[in-house]
Structure 1
Amino acid sequence: MDRWRYVARELRHRSGRSLATAAGIAVAVLAAVLLAALANSYSRALEAPMKTVGADVIVQLTGDIPPKLEGLVFPHPNALLPAKAVAGIRKEPGVVSVTRAVYLWELAPDHYQSVLGLEAGETGLDGLNGRLLQGRPLRAGDHAALLDSDFAGKNGLKAGDDIVVGGDRLPVAGIVDAARGGKVVRADVYLPLAVSQALAAAAPQVQALYAFGADDANMLLVKADRRRMEAVVERIKQLVGKKAIVSSEISFRETLESALFLSERMGLVLSLVVAVFAVAFVLRATASAVNERRREMAVLQALGWRWRDVHRQVLLENTVLALTGTLAGLALAAFAAWAIGNIEVTMEMPWDLSSTPHFIPEAAVDRRQSVTVPPQLAWQVLAAAGLGGIFAGAISALAALSTRRPQPWSLLRSE
């Protein structure tokens, strides 16, 4: 009898068991792929809040409240970062780059504006210039400013106008869309680092608390290797001290865990658990099928089939079932990902990352940020799940037939 026709007849004859085996593999593949997709969504959601500034870690230090909340002051309150700590962070394994910044609030009876001075670099002026709407980019040596588009519109300012910051009149080089992608470390006025350092060094309310020099900073924007993120964050806290304010994807992990309960590591663990249960289920189903077919196998051996041929036949049947279940599982996973659609998580940003003081009553402060993360089915995951499903069926057949070879004549006599 043709081997493939025999496979088809056997699977039809035992349709209930065949469907159960294929369904078990399909469910396992579906679960593994969806768990991996959700874990990947979780990882991308954690990155989203920090991507808006192009940094992986934002470093600040809690300080004292200035004697008077007037003129240029450090926000939150915020403190001067020790130069030794800054130098140490630059040398840490896993730290790719460090951009210094000076973050200031200017408080007056008739107006408020937030000011951020940045170094050149991807997470500094270069990244900011990439959001330019009008005017020209800001360079490190310029004595000029870029304005947030919302702030400029509210105050009727445009490129070519002047703006006064801390008593210093600065030409407006351009307007930027600082709100693009979120509200993390957003400011009204952006300056080259040297200009903001000079303003801070001349500000009475800053000098009343700190001996701020012309080369100091009160904020760091750090690019880090995500594989070493936890170690980098922990080491930064040690270098800066107990009052360190270190914002990173780790800061948002607890917020997101309620909505996306999977981490990449947990997703892998759960996928492995599902795979083990799938193999156990298919193994039991195959062993049961082999036990039920002892007489049939004895007849086949009596008709001239070698045990090796019987072995191949059962392996072929299980491989067909595994392939069917795997394809069904992958199709169901694709449909489920489409049905789930975008996963949207809304989180409230901490005051450390807000550009608006909480004590300004007229400011409508919305610190919420929505993160949208569509489940993505990576081809590597699909390939691994597909191969895993086929492997589960094949290994189950091999395990079920690994027992002692039956003697056909004695088996037929006992029947």
Structure 2
Amino acid sequence: MPSVTTPPADSLLQHRAFVAFWFARIASGFGFQMLSVAVGWQIYAVTGRAFDLGLIGLVQFVPSLLLALPAGHVADQFERRRIVLLGQVVEWIAIALLTGMSLAHGIHEVGILLLVCVIGIAKAFEFPALQSMLPALVPAAILPRAMAVSASAGQAAMIMGPALGGFLYVAGPGVVYSVCGALYLVSVALMGRLHYEQAPPKREPATLRTLFAGVHFIRARKDVLGVISLDLFAVLLGGATALLPIFARDILHTGPWGLGLLRAAPAVGALLMSVWLARHSLQQRVGTIMFAAVAGFGVATLVFAVSTTLWLSLAALFALGAFDMVSMVIRGALVQLETPDDMRGRVSAVNAIFINTSNQLGEFESGMLAAWVGAVSATVIGGIGTLAVVGLWMGMFPTLRQRQRLHVEAAAPADTR
């Protein structure tokens, strides 16, 4: 069928809506990364307490966890583009208030945390709607490549956004917030002009059944459950990046510049892999590739754990980020293509809970284990645990292991499994 053939390498450029979507993600991604740097520096300058830096993460994580299921329900009940627009407008207002208070020297830690919490609430509703929009912008056959290109926007922002924010902070936090606000306005303008077609949503009242529909949907589909839970446990066990300050100072004997390189290495690997995936379609043996990528993630974690030289550690983290990008693209595309459009918001919300939980608890688990057995041993245990999860999941989810293509189910929805 024509829809299944591999399109030309530049075919994504023919979808103007996707290009606008990508540039909007670039703008908001850079703005948010710069915002994160400025907020951290400013609140520490105001209070001088490391505890308050932890509160910045907490006031963002709590809304993302508590509001995930209601946000998914909303994403399936209303036009997703408008939800994203509303979320970004609320974030822009919060940033504008941060700008005004900073320029007027009337900033206070409580005010910063409250506004960051508002941004966290807006992002909790924005995320599932934004994730659910992408399958409607490109044909199913090139969705994996579109997801890779979309992910490259986030990786580029993670690499360059903090550096740009730190550079601008020399002129003051108000300058950083002003640039962030301008970038968010660009994103809002692009999203506002985006041509996005969505089937009229079926309006349902918010009940326990509708709120947990995404959970029930994932449980009923083995491949979706397998790919999401595989990523959860792999990241949960293999969270070596939380221990980078220890490795930089005590094992690799480098300074802050070395720590900066170590933090950037996974994002650089992920960015370059996303560029490669955007040019090459995943057409065969996607299940095997998925498991191999997660296994590669575990091996890279082990290499990093035993490395005592900076160049080898950087290479291991580079590979870790690249392998993680492969699994992320396959997971994201498979979940979106397996899910009907009227369920994508709720399923994306559950997926967001898994992602946030694995990242946050992964850092906590790594820190606690390192305090008990040491950073090297904790990272070795995490790498071995990741490989063990891969072996177990290959046995528990044989259809995922044997899966050949990502888009077969989307092309033949009447097929019974």
Could you state the TM-score of these two structures normalised by the residue count of structure 1?
0.21
For the pair shown, the structure with the greater C-alpha radius of gyration is: 1
Higher normalized strand content (fraction of residues): 1
Higher normalized helix content (fraction of residues): 2
Could you state the TM-score of these two structures normalised by the residue count of structure 2?
0.21
